[in-house]
Amino acid sequence: MSDVLELVEARLRTALGAPDARAAVTFLGTDRIEVLRFADDGVVRYATLGMSAQPMSDPTAVVADPLRGPRAELVLTVRGGRADTDKVLRPLAVLAASPQVEGVIVAPGASLDVGDPLWPGAPFTSVLVAEPGGLVEDLELDEPLDPVRFLPLLPMTPNEAAWKRVHGADALQERWLRHGTDLRDPLRSGVPLDD
């Protein structure tokens, strides 16, 4: 499936330019996950590369289909220079490996939690998976392979994550919008949740 990853990297380069850094992480029993860093005009984007090599499979399925199933990579966007966000590489790789390790399907509306700050001093330990298609277009693959979707990640404070579990992803995103929350600010405080 290295040809899939070559196509994915080409799509990322077309959408985001050439990466200025990359790091690889391998977890026991999983394929290698790379995280590419793209810096442009005060904004830093981190994109995983490797999650889409295998399709995500239903954890209740008796046998995983080696070809069919959703494929995705993760993209995180933050404002540069405000925090040591480059330390997010390992947490991002952990999230990208979760379909292989935990048998989960990562899809829009899901919450992913790493249990620790995403980077030193970060008020976030989890992310909300947003809808794809805005920054990086889906990558169509030859049949019978599903397309690769590039899923944006929106960092959440622990209180936002708890509120989202009760009220849902759409309600949290609407609240962020209503309060003008800068979701790219790596040091932002949580959105008001009691009004």
pLDDT at 29 over 90: no
- How many degrees, rounded to 5, is the angle at CA 66 between CA 60 and CA 71? 80
For the chain, how big is the Rg over CA atoms in Å?
16
The yes-or-no verdict on residue 58 having pLDDT over 90 is no
Predicted confidence at residue 62, as pLDDT, reads 66
- DSSP secondary structure letter of residue 31: -
- Local structure of 32: helix, strand or coil: coil
Structure tokens at 188: 């932002």
The CA distance from 94 to 41, in Å, is 28
Q: Helices (H) and strands (E) in the chain — how many of each?
A: 4, 7
- Please say if the pLDDT value at position 163 is more than 70: yes
**Among all chains, which residue has been given the structure tokens 């980077």?**
119
User: pTM of the entire structure?
Assistant: 0.93
pLDDT of residue 109: 96
In whole angstroms, give the CA distance from residue 103 to residue 97.
Answer: 9
Average pLDDT, the chain: 91
113 forms beta bridges with 126
Q: Is 25 helix (H, G, I), strand (E, B) or coil?
A: strand
DSSP 169: H
Give the whole-number percent of the chain exceeding pLDDT 70: 96
